[in-house]
C-alpha cells in the first residue's frame, strides 16, 4: 500500500506522531480550581477588612440576648401597672417603643414572652377572654362583680 516514499512524506504530521512526540505542540492543561483559588485569595486580600466588618455587623443583628436594662425597666413598669390585662393598645405600643428606643416588633415580642412566662389570668379574666369580652368594653365583670357602665378603665 504505502511505498518507502509515502512513509517519509508524513513524518511528524500525523496525530499519532504528535501525541508521541513528548507534547511539544500540546498546550499545558490548566487546572480550573487553581484559578478559582487564586481569584479567591485575591478577593480576600482586597476585601478582607470590609468582610470582617460586615461579618461583625451581621453577628450583632443575629445575636439573641437581653434588651437594654433601661428598656426592660420601662416595660416592666408598664407591666406592673397593667398586670390584670397586660395587652397594650397600639398607641401604647408606639409610646413604649419611643420611650424605650426599641422597635414595635421587639415590644410585641416582649409582651408575648412576658405573658407566656409570667401572667396567669384570674378565673374571671379567663371567662371574659373565652366569651370574647374585651377589657375596654364598659360591660365588665371584675372579682365576680358586674362593673356596669361606670367610668372604669380596666387595669389602671
98-145: pLDDT as tens digits: 999 999 999 999 999 999 999 988 776 666 666 665 555 444 444 444
CA distance linking residue 32 with residue 10, whole number of Å = 36
- Structure confidence at residue 106 (pLDDT): 95
Domain boundaries, the chain: 69-146
Q: What is the mean pLDDT of residues 37-45?
A: 87
50-102: pLDDT as tens digits: 878 887 777 766 556 789 999 999 999 999 999 889 999 999 999 999 999 99
pTM of the model: 0.44
7-23: pLDDT as tens digits: 545 455 555 555 555 55
Q: In 3-state terms, the chain is what percent helix, strand and coil (to 5)? A: 60, 5, 40
- Residues listed for the chain: 156
Q: 69-146 architecture in CATH?
A: Orthogonal Bundle (1.10)
Residue where the block lists cell 365576680: 144
Amino acid at each position: 500500500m504505502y511505498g518507502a516514499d509515502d512513509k517519509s512524506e508524513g513524518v511528524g504530521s500525523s496525530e499519532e506522531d504528535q501525541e508521541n512526540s513528548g507534547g511539544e505542540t500540546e498546550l499545558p492543561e490548566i487546572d480550573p480550581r487553581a484559578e478559582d483559588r487564586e481569584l479567591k485569595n485575591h478577593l480576600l486580600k482586597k476585601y478582607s477588612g470590609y468582610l470582617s466588618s460586615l461579618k461583625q455587623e451581621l453577628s450583632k443583628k443575629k445575636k439573641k440576648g437581653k434588651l437594654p436594662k433601661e428598656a426592660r425597666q420601662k416595660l416592666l413598669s408598664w407591666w406592673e401597672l397593667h398586670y390584670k390585662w397586660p395587652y397594650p393598645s397600639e398607641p401604647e405600643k408606639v409610646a413604649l417603643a419611643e420611650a424605650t428606643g426599641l422597635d414595635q416588633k421587639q415590644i410585641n415580642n416582649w409582651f408575648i414572652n412576658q405573658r407566656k412566662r409570667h401572667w396567669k389570668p384570674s378565673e374571671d379574666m379567663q371567662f371574659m377572654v373565652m366569651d370574647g369580652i374585651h377589657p375596654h368594653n364598659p360591660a365588665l365583670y371584675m372579682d365576680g362583680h358586674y362593673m356596669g357602665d361606670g367610668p372604669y378603665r380596666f387595669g389602671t
